[in-house]
Amino acid sequence: VLQEKQVQRIGSHKTKKLDVRIIAATNQNLKELISQGKFREDLYYRLQVIEMYIPPLAERPEDIEPLIDHYFSFYCKLYRINKHLSPKTKEILQRYHWPGNVRELKNLMENMVVSIPSQLIEPHDLPLHIYDQTAATSPLTLKERVEQFERRLIYEAIEKHTSLRKAAQQLGIDHSTLVKKLKKWNQAEKELSRG
């Protein structure tokens, strides 16, 4: 099919011409696999009409922000959810090395849109492996890091319990203190979303 651009059905004597283009992608070094006998050389040369090398996302830091903006916006529209990424969250995402490339970035954007309850997504909402990797180079102050940790603990307690009172009890703080903190964070989210 690749070379002759025609196909013959099993049991038939007639051939049918095809106008087909094959687009193939790999994250493996095919020339190395050929030398190891793990990939057919003839197939490689049939596929290798136009070869493009797209470097990993970690080598294209200038592409990260536009991809974040695109996929985050796409999933907000798809699910009809109005959410925003805080500037610090975007900064952390831009510094992350993205070992899973665009697929990892795209999946994370969808996950954050559908699974994070707050309208404003903060660094404490990020998966720990992303937050931890970038924390070493983060310009956050001690106060900001403590607040992020506090928010993470509070949101985890709220998700675990059916009421704010039970969450406050687990955290060892007064119910009124928990309510004040949530109101403060909610106000900050509203101000940022207004722009």
Neighbours of 88 (CB within 10 A): 16
Tell me the CATH number for domain 58-138: 1.10.8.60
What would the two tokens of residue 174 be?
Answer: 């007064």
Query: How high is the pLDDT of residue 6?
Result: 84
User: What is the β-pairing status of strands 84-85 and 120-121?
Assistant: parallel
What's the pTM value of the predicted model, to 2 decimals? 0.61
Each residue's pLDDT tens digit, 84-143: 999 989 999 999 999 999 999 999 999 999 988 889 998 888 888 887 666 655 566 778
Confidence band of 154 (pLDDT split at 50, 70, 90): confident
Instruction: Tell me the average pLDDT across 7-11.
Output: 85
Polymer length of the chain: 195
What secondary structure letter does DSSP report for 124? Answer: G
150 pLDDT higher than 90:
no
Q: Which is it for strands 15-17 and 84-85: parallel, antiparallel or unpaired?
A: unpaired
For residue 171, which phi and psi values (nearest 5 degrees)? -75, -15
